[in-house]
Amino acid sequence: MMMVQEIVENSSHDDSTEDDDDSNNNNNNRSSISSGFNVNNVNSSSANNVKRKISTSGIKFPDWDPDVKEKKVKKFVNACSDGNLVQALKLFREGVDINAKDRYDEAALYNAANEGHYYIVKFLVRNGANIDEPNSGSLKQTALWIASYNGKFRVVRRLLKMGANKNVRCSPFIDNTSPEEISKEQGFLQISEYIRQFDYPNYIRIKNNKKVREFFSS
């Protein structure tokens, strides 16, 4: 499979500094995803791999043939679940709704968070995925909740920094736990403590102040 680095532009300074706290545990997982990552960042050498197909070209997603739509959505959700960013990009460029759910009512973001696919999660949220949308059915678990449950620390950090609501609980029919509570129950104490201490408004304020300082020092 084509390496992600071959289809994405170089990382920006903002992304590398924002994720400094990820470096100690994830040095081997670094890639060149940019902080403003979206489908327009795909370079010209890979454009042919993500171009629209004739079957859906010029047709809005809601108007696709039902069979085509079901197959494309299934492939998209599976690609995100498998961590296949190239395939996910390809299908997104073809027009698949980033929040579409497959026949089992599962969305791409939930599945990517469940498997701990950091860059897939980042791509999905930055291109419009509903970050606090719970999975369908009786469980009502968000992407942050399932990442916390499975101990996917890096994904937990990224979701929080992208605005995920840490107070959204899963269904009362399960155990009505928050991400902080379920990670603690699962024995992921570092994750639980991180969630407890994380303050999104304060994080944004510090981040913006850092950008201002960098601007005036440049």
Q: Kindly indicate whether the domain formed by 4-8+61-217 is annotated with CATH number 1.25.40.20.
A: yes
pLDDT for the residue numbered 55: 45
- Burial class of residue 109 (count of CB atoms within 10 Å of its CB; 0-12, 13-18, 19+): buried
Helix (H, G, I), strand (E, B) or coil at 148: helix
Contact, 167 vs 198, CB < 8 A? no
pLDDT for the residue numbered 203: 95
pLDDT grade, residue 58 (50/70/90)? low
Q: What is the pLDDT of residues 137-157, one digit of tens each?
A: 778 899 999 999 999 999 999
pLDDT grade, residue 216 (50/70/90)? confident
Residue 135 CB neighbours (<10 A): 24
For residue 32, pLDDT beyond 80: no
Q: What is the pLDDT of residues 60-112, one digit of tens each?
A: 777 778 888 889 999 999 999 999 999 999 999 998 999 998 888 889 999 99
pLDDT for the residue numbered 212: 78
H-type helices in 62-149, by residue range?
66-82, 85-94, 108-115, 118-126, 143-149
